[in-house]
A = this chain, B = another copy of it.
């Protein structure tokens, strides 16, 4: 209930604002310098911070700067449907290494997590990784944050109830936190992306599926069962297409990476879109990126698909804006890379359908971080635990 301790506040300040002198810390924290000095001694003792030499004089004695111990390392992992991103950061969350690997999440937790620990082990052997102080990992499905365990994830067969956190903790010997991918991506946007100054915002991921990370009062909101933000199965069309979840007309069935690929196949086969028909002939298969390419090439049918989809996402978001009144919406995920045609359509639907009061000064932007937001967010999540 109580706010962060002095301990935690100093560490997070040093993490987020970089090295600081004792005097600067005194201005930033409303405590006496004496108290701060004592706390810094304790943190040095613990090996969490270190001296970082002297800064330039500002007209008097040169300030002695302290910083997060430069030997600290966090790992941020983001698991997607078809890929894994592993990043290693220093204690200030700067990315030192970033490895992306193609992998099918359906191969199961043993294989995927094995790759993760292998990649981290490789970095360690290269000497880049003195010691890991914590690992955060985001998974593309519902996760019980408290237990660190996936919970009936639709696109991750074999992962249900697998003790991801405990396994990784045992394997790596450091604290581990597991969360939904949209939550860690939202955290990433808050840490280094467009959401740096936001208190209440939404991170909407349009990838293979559609999900949403919710930040309330600067903290990830997970809901009563940890399933908050699962907007992919909100109904947008009464008698729309069947969805994997068993219902009709879900957003995800109408617009998502998977839905877009299906629609592309349909318009390619029917000949409506010559561009996509050629693509299908060449590759034998179509993905959402092919629709993006068709759009860029001026294909009118691709434009229609994207605009229709954007309108549907916009309709759902309009409702959420009225309900939640965020100060920002960030759109991310693979499909978001389609760019401004999609964004314009979403914007138009949201602004048309939400109350003026709620859309006043509501920026609606595409994430600029891409995959980075996930790994940084995951590292940020575990650093919050370590700097506590």
Q: Give chain A's interface residues, CB within 8 Å of chain B.
A: 1-4, 142, 151-152, 199-200, 212, 214, 216-217, 221-231, 233-235, 245, 247, 315-316, 318-320, 322-327, 352-355, 357-358, 360, 362
* Copies of this protein chain in the complex: 2
Asked if residues A323 and B325 are in contact (CB atoms below 8 Å), the reply is no
Contacts of A229 in B (CB 8 A): 323, 325
Asked if residues A355 and B230 are in contact (CB atoms below 8 Å), the reply is yes
How far apart sit A228 and B216, CA to CA, in the bound complex (Å)?
Answer: 12
Asked if residues B316 and A319 are in contact (CB atoms below 8 Å), the reply is yes
Contacts of A216 in B (CB 8 A): 216-217, 221
Residue in B1, B212, B221, B228 whose beta carbon sits within 8 Å of that of A3 in the complex: B1
Asked if residues A200 and B224 are in contact (CB atoms below 8 Å), the reply is yes
Contacts of A217 in B (CB 8 A): 216
A226, A324, A326 — most chain B CB neighbours (10 Å): A324
Chain B, residue nearest A200 (CB): B224
Asked if residues A355 and B245 are in contact (CB atoms below 8 Å), the reply is yes
Contacts of A362 in B (CB 8 A): 224
Given A234-B323, A235-B315, A323-B212, A142 contacting B227 (CB threshold 8 A): no
Asked if residues B322 and A234 are in contact (CB atoms below 8 Å), the reply is yes
Asked if residues B225 and A357 are in contact (CB atoms below 8 Å), the reply is yes
